[in-house]
């Protein structure tokens, strides 16, 4: 990674140097030509061998001659950038995904919600493991919270459940079936995610909510928004549910975007719910009810009532239990808890 970054830096500096020389060079050529014409033409005009009006016309025509050269220089620069950009776009479009449907994948109708990790190991870069022998089991309807320092692997674990990545070793199972044996559409239909950084498309509120359930009726959309405590703010928008939210929801506040994300998850009604660093609030408590929920939260006070808490350190689960059990162990969870309580005090 460091070598790639250094090569990119060198190439970017070289490109900036060429760009800084190219346009000024054209300007120097154009300016030099005008100066030479004015110098020799002016001397000829003073001697009377060249009419002044001819000199003026020649200088004006010379300016008209250099103008396309200046435009061509700038167009050439833009063309090179566009060519490279088009090549990168084609590389992305031609790229083959690492995660694909198995040849004869299992089509899971609606999962019961049992989630199990068996000795899962994962690494983004070779020889730099992120997860080491992670094992845990969740029964349908249970809530599990992941805690630990930044970089411990919490978000990586939840990314393995909907198969954004595949583990290098070990297995991730839902209802006893390895997720790598499931059809992706079937698997992801059973998983909802509410993230801190909510992604919204440039369409309307209604269109963004329907990404959770494309066949949802207007009544179902309103019911989901009401359950997520989002209906009142949506109705206050200029066109209500038909208001366009802008790319990535730029016209909405962070809280409003997360309310829409919760409403979208309610509308999807998946049996497995992943809350990745989302604020735990009343609407989320409603959403978690009756579902297998996996929670990542920075504040320990928000997860003390979950069924299980898994404490991660260095990519491994070092403690597993409920709040009272982990507080009695006086391990990492107790240290994190006392540190947050002290900071708040």
pLDDT of residue 180: 92
pLDDT of residue 197: 76
Q: Which CATH number fits domain 111-190+271-345: 3.20.20.70, 3.40.50.300, 2.60.40.1120, 3.30.70.1050?
A: 3.40.50.300
Dihedral angle sign, alpha carbons of residues 139, 101, 130, 302: negative
162: confidence class by pLDDT, cuts 50, 70, 90: very high
279: confidence class by pLDDT, cuts 50, 70, 90: low
Where do the H-state alpha helices sit in 154-301? 154-160, 184-189, 205-209, 218-227, 231-235, 254-268, 282-288
Please tell me what DSSP assigns to residue 96: P
User: Does position 345 have pLDDT exceeding 60, yes or no?
Assistant: no
Q: Which residues pair with 122 in a beta bridge?
A: 131
344: confidence class by pLDDT, cuts 50, 70, 90: low
Question: Cβ(274)–Cβ(161) under 8 Å?
Answer: yes
Alpha carbons 19 and 12: distance in angstroms, whole number: 10
Which of the given ranges, 18-27, 132-141, 212-221, has the highest pLDDT on average? 132-141
Mean pLDDT along residues 98-105: 84
109: confidence class by pLDDT, cuts 50, 70, 90: confident
Alpha carbons 273 and 80: distance in angstroms, whole number: 46
Q: Which CATH superfamily is domain 200-269 in?
A: P-loop containing nucleotide triphosphate hydrolases (3.40.50.300)
The model's pLDDT over 209-250, given as tens digits with 9 standing for 90+, comes to: 988 788 888 899 999 888 888 898 899 888 898 988 888 777
pLDDT of residue 1: 57
The model's pLDDT over 167-223, given as tens digits with 9 standing for 90+, comes to: 999 999 999 999 999 999 899 999 988 877 778 888 888 998 988 788 888 899 999
Alpha carbons 207 and 200: distance in angstroms, whole number: 10
Alpha carbons 294 and 35: distance in angstroms, whole number: 74
Dihedral angle sign, alpha carbons of residues 222, 228, 232, 234: negative
Domain spans, the chain: 2-94, 111-190+271-345, 200-269
pLDDT of residue 261: 87
118: confidence class by pLDDT, cuts 50, 70, 90: very high
Summarize the chain as % helix, strand, coil (round to 5).
Answer: 50, 20, 30
Length in residues, the chain? 345
- Least Cα distance to 80 among 24, 7, 22 occurs for 22
Alpha carbons 148 and 154: distance in angstroms, whole number: 8
Q: Which of 148-157, 235-244, 284-293 is predicted with the least confidence, judged by mean pLDDT?
A: 284-293
Beta carbons within 10 angstroms of residue 300's beta carbon: 20
**This prediction's pTM:** 0.71
Alpha carbons 153 and 160: distance in angstroms, whole number: 11
Do domains 111-190+271-345 and 200-269 share one topology? The answer is yes
Question: Cβ(310)–Cβ(320) under 8 Å?
Answer: yes
pLDDT of residue 278: 61
Q: Which of 33-42, 105-114, 141-150, 172-181 is predicted with the least confidence, judged by mean pLDDT?
A: 33-42
Q: DSSP labels for 177-208?
A: EEGGGB-HHHHHHTEEEEESS----SSBHHHH
pLDDT of residue 173: 95
**For the chain, what is the mean pLDDT?**
83
- Least Cα distance to 73 among 21, 36, 31, 35 occurs for 21
- Least Cα distance to 278 among 294, 290, 267 occurs for 294
71: confidence class by pLDDT, cuts 50, 70, 90: confident
């Amino acid at each position: 990674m460091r070598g790639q970054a250094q090569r990119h830096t060198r190439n970017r500096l070289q490109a900036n140097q060429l760009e800084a020389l190219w346009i000024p060079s054209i300007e120097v050529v154009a300016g030099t030509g005008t100066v030479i014409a004015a110098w020799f033409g002016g001397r000829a005009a003073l001697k009377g061998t060249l009419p002044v009006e001819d000199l003026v016309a020649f200088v004006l025509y010379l300016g008209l001659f250099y103008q396309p050269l200046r435009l061509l220089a700038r167009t050439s620069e833009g063309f090179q950038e566009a060519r490279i950009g088009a090549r990168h776009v084609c590389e992305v479009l031609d790229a083959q995904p690492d995660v694909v449907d198995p040849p004869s994948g299992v089509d899971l109708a609606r999962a019961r919600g049992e989630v199990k990790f068996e000795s899962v190991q994962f690494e983004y870069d070779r020889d730099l493991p992120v997860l080491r022998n992670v094992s845990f089991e969740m029964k349908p309807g249970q809530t599990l919270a992941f805690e630990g320092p930044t970089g411990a692997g919490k978000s990586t674990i939840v990314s393995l459940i909907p198969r954004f990545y595949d583990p290098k070793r070990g297995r991730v199972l839902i209802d006893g079936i390895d997720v790598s044996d499931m059809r992706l559409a079937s698997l992801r239909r059973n998983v909802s995610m509410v993230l801190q950084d909510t992604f919204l498309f440039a369409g309307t509120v209604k269109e963004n909510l329907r990404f959770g359930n494309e066949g949802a009726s207007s009544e179902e959309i309103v019911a989901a928004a009401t359950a997520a405590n989002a209906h009142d703010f949506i109705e206050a928008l200029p066109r209500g549910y038909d208001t366009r939210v802008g790319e990535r929801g730029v016209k909405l506040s962070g809280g409003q975007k997360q309310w829409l994300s919760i409403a979208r998850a309610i509308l999807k009604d998946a049996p497995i719910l992943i809350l990745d660093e989302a604020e735990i609030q009343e609407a989320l408590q409603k959403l978690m009810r009756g579902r297998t929920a996996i929670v990542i939260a920075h504040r320990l006070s928000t997860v003390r009532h979950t069924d299980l808490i898994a404490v991660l350190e260095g990519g491994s689960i070092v403690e597993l239990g409920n709040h009272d059990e982990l507080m009695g162990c006086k391990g990492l969870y107790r240290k994190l808890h006392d540190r947050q309580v002290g900071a708040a005090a």
